[in-house]
Structure 1
């Protein structure tokens, strides 16, 4: 699916994650900032990629600022930002959950 608008989900509070999703030109590109990037960076990006794949998003720029979020929080924020970027706020994709 094509991203219709740049979207943001999450906060910069402790134990949360902020994800910004914008239109990309080739594949999915990450800009990840996290204190635990060395240990969990690949897992954070994999979780977000799985959600984007469920929404058929193949081209995107993803800016992520992690403040120690757990996997369920990462997934929830990724679902929210994908729905906002695709302008599906009022039509949730329940299969993704």
Structure 2
């Protein structure tokens, strides 16, 4: 999947996160989190795994985390990526 336009998903409410995606020549992940010291590696791992499942090889991804669980991180990254790709079709089997 290729990110062709800027897109966002999520909120800045407690237990949620805001995901911003934009086109880029390389894959770049930036994480801003109140709990980065405790969970930064886990957040990065979940974001990277989700992007891998969606076959995103390039794009800028900015995460503003407010204590979201892994399932919320996956859902928000998926939504932002789908919106940023301009695609309306998603192979749900890839995300199992």
SS class of match (2:78): helix
1:4-60 deviation line (CA, Å, top 9, x unaligned): 11110000001001000111222x212211111011111111111111111211111
Flag structure 1 segments of 5+ consecutive residues without an equivalent: none
Aligned residues: 95
Gaps of 5+ in 2: none
TM-score computed with the length of structure 2 as normaliser: 0.90
Q: TM-score under structure 1 normalisation?
A: 0.89
For residues 54 and 41 of structure 2, the distance between their equivalents in structure 1, rounded to whole angstroms, comes to 20
Moved over 4 A (4+): none
- 1:93 equivalent in structure 2: 91
